[in-house]
Homo-oligomer: A and B are copies of this chain.
Amino acid sequence: MHSHSQPHGDVAVPSAEPFAAAPDAGAGKHGHSTGDHSTHRSVADHRQAVRELLEPLLSRERTELLPLVQALGRGLAEDITAPLSLPPFPNSQMDGFAIRSGDVPDGGTSLRVAAPVPAGASPAPLEPGTAVPIMTGAMLPAGADAVVPIEQALPSVFPAAGEEAEVRLPATAAGTFVRAVGSDIAAGQQALAAGTCLGPAQLGLLAALGLPEVLVHKQLSVLLVTTGDEVVEPGEPLGDGKIYDANGTLLESALRQAGLAVTRAGISADSPEALRALLRSHTSAVDLIVSTGGVSKGAYEVVRQAMDGQDVTFGHVAMQPGGPQGLGRFDGVPLLAFPGNPVSCLVSFEMFLRPVLGELFGAPAPRPAVRARLAQPLSSPAGKHQVRRGSLQGDGTVRLQGGESSHLVQALAHSNALVHVPAGTAVLNEGAEVEVWML
């Protein structure tokens, strides 16, 4: 669906794919063959082209200082050096007694119990020949160099406050159950590198370092337009030959999840003039345009037509689904033109836009990539990188959901993974190992 082309004999259709072959690609692959895929650009080359298109958006002006929790999911815009050590002071790893290890000979000894270490304050130095009750996380007194867990003490309870008491403790090596200053990170070390995606653990580290704010890349704004005379908004009546627009919802959700601010331009009819006008009513406010549909080799393709005179190229990437792609600038604004089928849209986003956003702006985080064994055989067009949808099972196998066809949105909705079959592979048997990206 969403490939909503209509043959018009009076419309010029490019007879060859205009994506240039990569300069470093072998001539044998991209040279003079007239075969189907001779001028198809590789997935890596197209991803690189997307990267070059978006790279100018990377600048110091497009960063901002945010309170930690507001920075959740953003990419870090500078290296962070630890302003202090963690732990900032030597502290106890256990509830127990802090001692001078030299005070306890082999075979153990009894020590007088001193007043306990208070939490959140600097304790008095440990007098030789004494043991001091200390709780997990509390600062070791000066002089103490080991902690004996309460379970190893005799008696194995803390004396009541003010009570005179002795405790028998075993010999304990210096450093035992002591968290040394800087054992997690030392002041001056790099805590996080620019480009790190800030999740709970990374923000927690910044908080532990006492940093209340963090410099992150600003949210990019994207204009999303779906096209097609046959496409109808969900909730509207569905006429003959019409289909509901899945792409708008699918891609808006995916773009939002990736941290972008999305403006929906709605559905454009198959009129190049109308599409251009629709785009121009929004472009002043956005960093990027994403369109769906109208990029194929059909006789009538609205996005191709609307980009006439603009710095936008259309062509074919050696990928299935999602082969037809457009890329360039509309009135100077970066534009990615995805194909019209929902599965092709999502695969285009996952293969090109999402990883490039992560590389350039530190967010979103890359998809977890794992190796899995195929639960069933598959075939793939040998010249293309095939992206199948599947479900990773608990036993480490991946089960394909639906066939290779790009209209299978129900199958997509029951998948949790993308299964990669690189170019050059035509057949894989059950049990073959594949790379899988977890969605």
- Using Cβ atoms and an 8 Å threshold, which residues of chain B touch A135? 3-7, 296, 298-300
Q: List 12 A-B contacts (CB under 8 A).
A: A1-B137, A1-B208, A6-B117, A9-B161, A82-B410, A121-B230, A200-B253, A204-B253, A205-B409, A205-B413, A208-B246, A370-B372
Chain A contact residues (Cβ within 8 angstroms of B): what range?
Answer: 35 or more
User: Are the C-beta atoms of B3 and A88 separated by less than 8 Å?
Assistant: no
A207/B246 contact (C-beta < 8 A), A9-B160, A202-B413 known: yes
A410 to B137, CA, bound (A): 16
8 Å CB contact of A6 from B116, B235, B248, B438: B116
A24 CB → nearest B CB, Å: 23
- Using Cβ atoms and an 8 Å threshold, which residues of chain B touch A191? 410, 413
A366 CB → nearest B CB, Å: 9
8 Å CB contact of A137 from B4, B8, B200, B372: B4
A229 to B413, CA, bound (A): 49
A394 to B395, CA, bound (A): 19
User: Are the C-beta atoms of A136 and B5 separated by less than 8 Å?
Assistant: yes
User: Are the C-beta atoms of B119 and A6 separated by less than 8 Å?
Assistant: yes
- Using Cβ atoms and an 8 Å threshold, which residues of chain B touch A68? 234, 249, 253
- Using Cβ atoms and an 8 Å threshold, which residues of chain B touch A95? 5, 296-299
In the complex, the chain B residue whose C-beta lies closest to that of A179 is B407
A413 to B214, CA, bound (A): 15
Residue A252 at the chain B interface, CB threshold 8 Å: yes
- Using Cβ atoms and an 8 Å threshold, which residues of chain B touch A245? 207
> Which of A236-244, A274-282, A377-385 lies at the interface with chain B?
A236-244
A405/B205 contact (C-beta < 8 A), A243-B87, A368-B392 known: no
- Against B, the Cβ 8 Å flags (1 = close, 0 = not) of A385-414 are 000000010101000001001011111110
The interface residues of chain A, by DSSP majority, are classed as loop
Residue A185 at the chain B interface, CB threshold 8 Å: yes
Residue of A210, A240, A413, A438 ringed by the most chain B CB atoms within 10 A: A413
The 9 closest A-B pairs by CB, nearest first: A9-B160, A120-B230, A204-B250, A212-B235, A5-B135, A122-B240, A207-B249, A208-B246, A200-B253
In the complex, the chain B residue whose C-beta lies closest to that of A202 is B413
User: Are the C-beta atoms of A228 and B120 separated by less than 8 Å?
Assistant: yes
8 Å CB contact of A234 from B5, B87, B206, B256: B206
- Using Cβ atoms and an 8 Å threshold, which residues of chain B touch A370? 368, 370, 372, 392, 396, 438
- Using Cβ atoms and an 8 Å threshold, which residues of chain B touch A209? 234, 244
- Using Cβ atoms and an 8 Å threshold, which residues of chain B touch A9? 158-163
A184/B4 contact (C-beta < 8 A), A87-B243, A340-B137, A346-B204 known: no
Give chain A interface residues in 110-124, CB to chain B under 8 Å: 116-123
- Against B, the Cβ 8 Å flags (1 = close, 0 = not) of A98-141 are 00000000000000000011111111000000000101111100
User: Are the C-beta atoms of B200 and A251 separated by less than 8 Å?
Assistant: yes
A437 to B213, CA, bound (A): 29
- Using Cβ atoms and an 8 Å threshold, which residues of chain B touch A158? 7, 9, 299
Residue A218 at the chain B interface, CB threshold 8 Å: no
User: Are the C-beta atoms of B413 and A230 separated by less than 8 Å?
Assistant: no
8 Å CB contact of A241 from B5, B36, B123, B235: B123
User: Are the C-beta atoms of B413 and A138 separated by less than 8 Å?
Assistant: no
- Using Cβ atoms and an 8 Å threshold, which residues of chain B touch A411? 184
User: Are the C-beta atoms of B7 and A116 separated by less than 8 Å?
Assistant: yes
- Using Cβ atoms and an 8 Å threshold, which residues of chain B touch A2? 137
A119/B230 contact (C-beta < 8 A), A208-B342, A253-B69 known: yes
